[in-house]
Chains A and B, each alone.
Chain A
Amino acid sequence: MAEAVNYAVRFEMTGISKSFGATTALKDVNLKVVAGEVCALVGQNGAGKSTLMNILSGAAQPDTGTMMLDGVSYHPRNPLEARRSGVAMIHQELSLAPDLSVEENIVLGMEPAPYGIVRRAEIRAKAEDVLRQLHHSEISPTTPAGQLSVAEQQLVEIARALAIGCRVLVLDEPTSSIARADVERLFEIIGRLKAQGHAVVYISHFIDEVKEVADRFAVLRDGRNAGGGEVRSATRKEIVEMMVGRSMEELYPRTSRSPAEAILDIAPGIALRRGEVLGIAGLVGAGRTRLLRRLFALESSWKSVGMVSEDRKGEGLAMGMTVTDNLTLPRLTGWVSPSKQSALARRWIQDLEIRCHDDRQEISELSGGNQQKVALARLLYCDVDVLLLDEPTRGIDVGSKAQIYEWIDQLVTNGKAVLIVSSYFPELIGICDRVAVMHRGQLSAPRPVSEVDEHQLMLEACSGLDDSHEHHDSR
């Protein structure tokens, strides 16, 4: 790979803070990337990586802090301004116009069009030029973008950013939805961008990839800088330790549990037993949600299985409806009596300390924590034997978290079985009896929680390896 052209500072963010309402997303964060460098931005889910990059790419404004781009003060008010100044972000969910051709997508918004008449030949030349720069001229400029594979669409997005002269490219988890072969191809492209003097910020929580593609790394934890340095001189373990940081305070109740007979087969040789909490540790995109969905779809017809979706707003709850409606939805009788419905709901609201004005309040007006309590209460109301919980505590306050942990403990003591998926490993260690790790669709055998620690889980979830294998990792 060619040596970096020069080491001028491409962009620098200093003292960036940002809060949303009462929650602080970023606090005094600094980040500096020089030209011709790939900087990996790593951190756990919710550490503030995306917020920081949204600020850089103009989608959000910082509360305090300054940004410089190539030595000039830089304060984009929206993503368009950022692109025009030379900063583009390639999001996880790709954003091409599927009905337009590749070339039209590449020049969208800057078509050569004197008197409004589009110059097709110039567009073609321009598109072919940037695709050639990326060494991917096999992509036909006339294909509708919607017909390309995800990896190819990603490539077109990068080409589009290059076409308007972007010097800073932010790639947000670019490998989460593409195959391994495409990953190699992407890394080649990143190498080329680097050689051309672009600055690349690479967001990821796969340590392997970071080691493979990045020059430097910066770690965010709970919205603050938590270290960084040269990738070459840092071990996997060191990076993970920076990501995980402190230990978690006592938040997890645990009565003595006595697991009984198996009630649900999760994978060949792995069964969930009555009276236990089984945790699945894994990062977003590892295939955890698909596993839960498959279990739910297979089993729910003949066993009493309930699921809490990770996507609370999208499918977990009916946002336009009231607390009562949401609670009683799965077990409505043919004739709905509003007063009986309310009475039932009020009982659960009281039991679970759901904070709302009354049982007819719209669920969207509740806080995230209270919404999640309603989603859980619905399962309790159905009295299911097996609970599949997908990230049940994501984005909710500590108080609600503690309550949810308490119910989970109560449930299993009463002979229910709980399968919980989470990318927040301290909670898995806190509440589970056994933990299995999922990495890229592969589920490891579950181990008793006393035999694992958080660092090890993170290491396995990030790389699929345990530490002892590190030195003969040949990839």
Chain B
Amino acid sequence: MTRMNTMTRVEKTTREFKASEEKANKWLSRSGPVLGLFLVCLIFGFLVGPQFFRTGNLELIARQTAIVAVASLGMTVVIASAGIDLSVGSVVSLSTVVIALLLRSGVPPLAAVLAAVAVGVLCGAIVGLLVTRLCLLPFIVTLGMMLVVRGAAKGLADEQRVEAPITWINNLLRSPAGTESWLLLPAGVWIIIVLSLTTGAMLEYTRFGRHIFAIGSNERTARLCGVRIDACKLAVYSIGAGFAGLAGVMQFSKLSVGDPTVAAGLELDVIAAVIIGGGSLLGGRGSVFGTLVGATIMAVIQLGSSQRGLANWVQQIVTGAIIILAVALDHWRQHAHNHLRH
């Protein structure tokens, strides 16, 4: 009996030890991107001067991040399921065109916004159906959709910018003023915060979210255990593109016109944000928090470089280097970790 007790006590201690080790590890993998952000801020704070940290500037960073951040929330979900969506930039441009056209024809702004998001969801649903029904690779399907959607946007807009009346949509990313100053932050930033929390909770605490990670981690096992793979994937791509539609709303708010040529190549920034934030293109990994940090890192580099007067080409080189560095560091950390255990 006493032996049993010692046994369970030993077991319990080992388990507690293991659990704390896991926590430390989880914390480390989460803090990686944060550390990166901290470092990047420090470097530009040094280069630009203390005014880099003024509230106005921080808000500017938040606004700069908005478009990439919204789209990358969706991409986090897609990449966690071991998928990819290359049509994000095109969906954003289509979304701006749809809003502009609807506003011009007198539709109320809220309806226009909802319609734009719905168009995104529709694009995602098409991708999802093609991926699941025809068993095509998401890379190929969304590569095709990138052109199809871009073409559709240009066709709808008659290959030119679509002017639209000024509404509250244009204020989404402006600093609140006057009667709205109680908001502290631009409404768009609040939207992002709320969406991030819901998406994070969805991934972490719902069955659907855990199934997304299961599919991304090992699709065969997920199938064996009765996860409804096709339904899940359909939902994943619809959500992903829905977020891209919303990113289009942010883009429109910034531009105040519908532009079918805008956001070309945005998908790459979005994918980079997810990857810097700890996502893996092999699936099964990624977090909303990491993604947001990743998106912020890129915005800080952009803004910092331009405030320091660095040329665009420098920014691009730095961003590229950081993407590679982030993945290399993560890879190295994983490797070291596995090495320690075995």
Report A's interface with B, CB cutoff 8 A: 79-80, 83-84, 95-100, 104-105, 108-111, 113, 116-118, 120, 137-138, 140, 142-144, 147, 149, 160
Enumerate chain A residues within 8 angstroms of B14, measured Cβ to Cβ. Answer: 138
Chain B proximity of A252: nearest CB distance (Å):
41
Of the candidate stretches B179-187, B201-209, B292-300, the one touching chain A is: B201-209
Return the 3 tightest CB-CB contacts between A and B, nearest first: A109-B225, A99-B284, A97-B217
A171 to B232, CA, bound (A): 30
A160 to B226, CA, bound (A): 13
Interface residues of B in 208-227 (CB under 8 A from A): 208-210, 213-214, 216-218, 220-227
Enumerate chain B residues within 8 angstroms of A111, measured Cβ to Cβ. Answer: 207, 210
- Given the known interface contacts A138-B15, A140-B22, A142-B19, the answer about A97 and B207 at a Cβ–Cβ threshold of 8 Å is no
Pair A96/B221 contact, Cβ less than 8 Å? yes
Chain A proximity of B251: nearest CB distance (Å):
31
- Contacting residue for B217 out of A100, A138, A143, A149, CB 8 A: A100
Report B's interface with A, CB cutoff 8 A: 11, 14-15, 18-19, 22, 205-210, 213-214, 216-218, 220-227, 283-285, 337-338, 341-342
Pair B15/A118 contact, Cβ less than 8 Å? no
- Contacting residue for A100 out of B22, B205, B210, B341, CB 8 A: B210
A105 to B226, CA, bound (A): 12
22 residue pairs A–B, Cβ–Cβ below 8 Å:
A79-B224, A80-B224, A95-B218, A96-B218, A97-B217, A97-B221, A98-B218, A99-B283, A100-B213, A100-B214, A100-B284, A110-B226, A111-B207, A113-B207, A116-B208, A118-B206, A118-B209, A137-B11, A138-B11, A140-B19, A140-B22, A142-B19
A80 to B222, CA, bound (A): 10
Q: Please, which residue of chain A has its CB at the minimum distance from the CB of B216?
A: A99
Pair A104/B22 contact, Cβ less than 8 Å? no
- Given the known interface contacts A111-B210, A138-B15, the answer about A118 and B205 at a Cβ–Cβ threshold of 8 Å is yes
A59 to B271, CA, bound (A): 37
Pair B341/A147 contact, Cβ less than 8 Å? yes
Pair A104/B224 contact, Cβ less than 8 Å? no
Enumerate chain A residues within 8 angstroms of B225, measured Cβ to Cβ. Answer: 80, 83, 108-110, 160
Enumerate chain A residues within 8 angstroms of B284, measured Cβ to Cβ. Answer: 97-100
A375 to B61, CA, bound (A): 60
Pair A84/B226 contact, Cβ less than 8 Å? yes
- Contacting residue for B213 out of A99, A147, A160, CB 8 A: A99
Enumerate chain B residues within 8 angstroms of A160, measured Cβ to Cβ. Answer: 225
Pair B22/A142 contact, Cβ less than 8 Å? yes
A98 to B280, CA, bound (A): 13
Chain A proximity of B4: nearest CB distance (Å):
12
A96 to B216, CA, bound (A): 12
Enumerate chain A residues within 8 angstroms of B217, measured Cβ to Cβ. Answer: 97-100
Enumerate chain A residues within 8 angstroms of B226, measured Cβ to Cβ. Answer: 80, 83-84, 109-110
- Contacting residue for B206 out of A80, A98, A100, A113, CB 8 A: A113
Chain A proximity of B232: nearest CB distance (Å):
12
- Contacting residue for A118 out of B19, B207, B218, CB 8 A: B207
Enumerate chain A residues within 8 angstroms of B206, measured Cβ to Cβ. Answer: 113, 116-118
Enumerate chain B residues within 8 angstroms of A83, measured Cβ to Cβ. Answer: 224-226
Enumerate chain B residues within 8 angstroms of A140, measured Cβ to Cβ. Answer: 15, 18-19, 22
Enumerate chain A residues within 8 angstroms of B210, measured Cβ to Cβ. Answer: 100, 104, 108, 111, 118
Enumerate chain A residues within 8 angstroms of B227, measured Cβ to Cβ. Answer: 108-109
Chain B proximity of A339: nearest CB distance (Å):
35
Enumerate chain A residues within 8 angstroms of B223, measured Cβ to Cβ. Answer: 80
Enumerate chain A residues within 8 angstroms of B337, measured Cβ to Cβ. Answer: 147
Known: A108-B225, A109-B224. 12 other contacts (CB 8 A): A83-B226, A97-B213, A97-B222, A98-B217, A99-B284, A99-B285, A100-B213, A100-B214, A105-B221, A108-B227, A110-B225, A140-B18
- Given the known interface contacts A80-B224, A110-B226, A116-B207, the answer about A97 and B22 at a Cβ–Cβ threshold of 8 Å is no
Chain A proximity of B92: nearest CB distance (Å):
29
